[in-house]
């Protein structure tokens, strides 16, 4: 009986902990990042509001901090022409394909205490992650065609 309990506990521990790749990704993402540039898969001028918050111009140069041990973080808008200040969020990294190393990155805006007013989150693709660079991709539909927003970060 003791062995069965130990086996069940071990299986739960391993399955709840996420894959080794996700755990390693959380170690890499930990810390301070700058969102340097945002570009699109299509050429043209677009009026896009990211995360129901601010425009592309406001987000470029924003400072981001990730705290993976409790899946929280914050970003700070520093552009004087925008609503400046800190915004809080919770995040989850979920591996979607172990062979390719692709991830889903779920970001949910919250208040300082971690509570969401709208319970709305955003699904992004964590398409690149290294010790110095990170890229998120968000795909939306424009004129019934996929349109990808690329967000490019560097670690501080």
Q: What is the pLDDT of residues 3-55, one digit of tens each?
A: 433 333 333 333 344 555 567 777 889 999 999 999 999 888 888 899 999 99
Domain boundaries, position 90: 2-155
Calculate mean pLDDT across residues 127-134.
Answer: 91
Q: How confident is the model at residue 97, as a pLDDT?
A: 64
Q: How confident is the model at residue 98, as a pLDDT?
A: 65
| Interior angle at CA 133, CA 91 and CA 95, nearest 5 | 45
User: What percent of the chain has a predicted confidence (pLDDT) above 70?
Assistant: 82
* Contact indicator for 154, 33 with CB cutoff of 8 Å: yes
Q: How many CB atoms lie within 10 A of CB 82?
A: 15
Write the CATH number for 23.
Answer: 2.40.128.280
Q: How confident is the model at residue 143, as a pLDDT?
A: 85
Q: How many CB atoms lie within 10 A of CB 153?
A: 20
> What domain count does the chain have?
1
The label of the residue with tokens 């709840």 reads 16
Tens digit of pLDDT for each residue in 109-126?
999 999 998 889 999 998
* Candidate from 37-41, 44-48, 78-82, 133-137 with smallest mean pLDDT: 44-48
**Residue 112 DSSP code:** T
Of 23-27, 80-84, 142-146, which has the strongest mean pLDDT?
Answer: 80-84
Buried b (16+ CB within 10 A) or exposed e, 119-148: eebbebbbbebeeeebbbebeeeeeeeebe
Q: Determine the Cα–Cα distance for residues 154 and 34; give it in Å rounded to an integer.
A: 5
* Residue bearing the bigger pLDDT, 118 or 95: 118
Q: How confident is the model at residue 4, as a pLDDT?
A: 39
**Residue 56 DSSP code:** H
Query: In 3-state terms, what secondary structure has residue 102?
Result: strand
Q: How confident is the model at residue 105, as a pLDDT?
A: 87
């Amino acid at each position: 009986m003791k062995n069965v309990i130990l086996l069940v506990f071990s299986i739960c521990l391993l399955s709840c902990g996420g894959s080794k790749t996700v755990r390693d990704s959380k170690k890499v993402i930990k810390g301070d990042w700058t969102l340097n540039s945002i570009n699109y898969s299509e050429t043209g001028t677009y009026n896009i509001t990211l995360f129901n918050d601010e425009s592309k111009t406001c987000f470029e140069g924003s400072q981001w901090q990730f705290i993976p041990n409790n899946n929280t973080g914050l970003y700070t808008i520093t552009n004087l022409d925008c609503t400046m200040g800190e915004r809080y969020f919770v995040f989850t990294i979920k591996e979607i394909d172990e062979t390719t190393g692709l991830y889903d990155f779920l970001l949910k805006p919250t208040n300082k205490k971690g509570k969401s007013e709208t319970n709305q989150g955003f699904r992004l693709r964590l398409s690149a992650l290294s010790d110095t660079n990170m890229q998120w991709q968000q795909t939306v539909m424009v004129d019934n065609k996929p349109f990808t927003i690329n967000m490019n970060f560097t670690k501080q």
